[in-house]
Structure 1
Amino acid sequence: MPTVLGLTNDSKTRSPAPSQSPAPPGTSSHTMGANGRLDTISKRNHHAAREVETLFWRALCDSPEAAKEYMAKDCIMINPLFAKSSKPMSKDTEPSIDQILEGCEPWTGFRFHGEPLVVEIDLMAVALVYKITLFKASRKGGIREVVASASSSWRQTAGADWLLCAQHVAFAEDEEE
């Protein structure tokens, strides 16, 4: 018997007429997402990971100290682009991540090479890997470019905010893409 939603509770299934699709596009989960809709938790997590990673780098370029807003209190990091060292950092190291971010010069801009690859670690945690180019205006009028590879891990709080837990950045060869 048909219901208000057009579903049936009959045990017999009928095939749709040849001119009809099996289900309307707005109700079929196999067609949703083709237009970029964030209709699953996984899609929302992947989208949020790319978005928050972009916001983090934007903050590092605008005001490195402001990037602390995106970082968990227990965040660990290796980032020679800001620390001028490949030593692991945390809030407890000397110098700490906070001290590094308070004293470093911001970059002028950045560019991801393609889309960062994202993997869900858990329902509320994601990791990304990507290649990035950072730009800095030199005092002599030129632009300095540095290519790096990066990996970041983020976790979502109960309040739905994403916080950076770990980041590893390393200088990379600039190869043709």
Structure 2
Amino acid sequence: MPTVLGLTNDKPSKPSSSSSSKMGGGGGGGRLDTISKRNHAAALEIETLLWRALCDSPEAAKEYMADDCIMINPLFAGSSKPMGKDTDPSIDKILEGQEPWTSFRIHGDPLVVEIDLMAVALCYKVSLFRQSKRGKGSMREVVASVSSSWRQTAGADWLLCAQHVAYADDDDDE
């Protein structure tokens, strides 16, 4: 039966799980009836939005990043040098001149941990694809492991605080 807040008091079809479990509290289609479950679901959603922005227009990805965001991302910077707003080059400068990726695929279910009521971190493996310059129709794939930390603002927006991206072997277990 619906309540004033839009939640129901019906019995869940699946048992609830702890906040340290995988996305959405234990499986696809589960009810997001706790803050923890909503945070876990938001982590995957916002990470997906970030990669979509990097595929559409890398400069637009800045909208998802906190002003004090730090990262190591050799896929964009060409090196494993830590970057921030005050480094040379800065994250903003790197994203402004970045060629967009054609597409991406997150492997499996990312592992998510709730850091605080308004902060999450997740780890996963991703494949990024770019149109090959050699021939029409051929795609180049880059596989990377990613760790991202996000915090929620008072306005309920999620902002990327830190990200570490590293090249990964594509033959690792998924």
- TM class by smaller structure: 0.7 to 0.9
1:164 aligns with 2:160: yes
Question: Partner of 2:68: helix, strand, or coil?
Answer: strand
Preserved CA contact (<8 Å) 2:12 2:31: no
TM-score (normalised: structure 2) = 0.83
Aligned position for 2:149: 153
5 Å-filtered alignment, 1:1-177, equals 26=10, 36-139=30-133, 140-141=135-136, 142-177=138-173
- Taking every aligned residue pair, what percent have the same amino acid on both sides? 75
User: Are residues 31 and 169 of structure 1, via their aligned partners in 2, closer, same or farther at CA, if it must alter by over 3 Å?
Assistant: closer
* One-letter identity of the residue aligned with 1:108: T
Question: Partner of 2:101: helix, strand, or coil?
Answer: coil
Structure 2 segments unaligned to the other structure (5+ residues) = 1-8, 17-24
Give the number of the structure whose alpha-carbon radius of gyration is greater: 1
Alignment partners' CA distance in 2, 1:31 and 1:145: 38
Question: Partner of 2:123: helix, strand, or coil?
Answer: strand
C-alpha displacement of 1:133? 0.4
Alignment partners' CA distance in 1, 2:45 and 2:90: 26
The total of aligned residue pairs comes to 153
Alignment partners' CA distance in 2, 1:176 and 1:91: 33
TM-score (normalised: structure 1) = 0.81
C-alpha displacement of 1:83? 1.0
User: Are residues 28 and 64 of structure 1, via their aligned partners in 2, closer, same or farther at CA, if it must alter by over 3 Å?
Assistant: closer
* One-letter identity of the residue aligned with 1:106: P
Question: Partner of 1:160: helix, strand, or coil?
Answer: coil
Question: Partner of 2:170: helix, strand, or coil?
Answer: coil
Alignment partners' CA distance in 2, 1:143 and 1:27: 47
* One-letter identity of the residue aligned with 2:94: I
Structure 1 segments unaligned to the other structure (5+ residues) = 1-24
Moved >4 Å (runs of 4+): 27-35
C-alpha displacement of 1:85? 1.1
Cα root mean square deviation, aligned: 1.9
User: Are residues 29 and 176 of structure 1, via their aligned partners in 2, closer, same or farther at CA, if it must alter by over 3 Å?
Assistant: closer
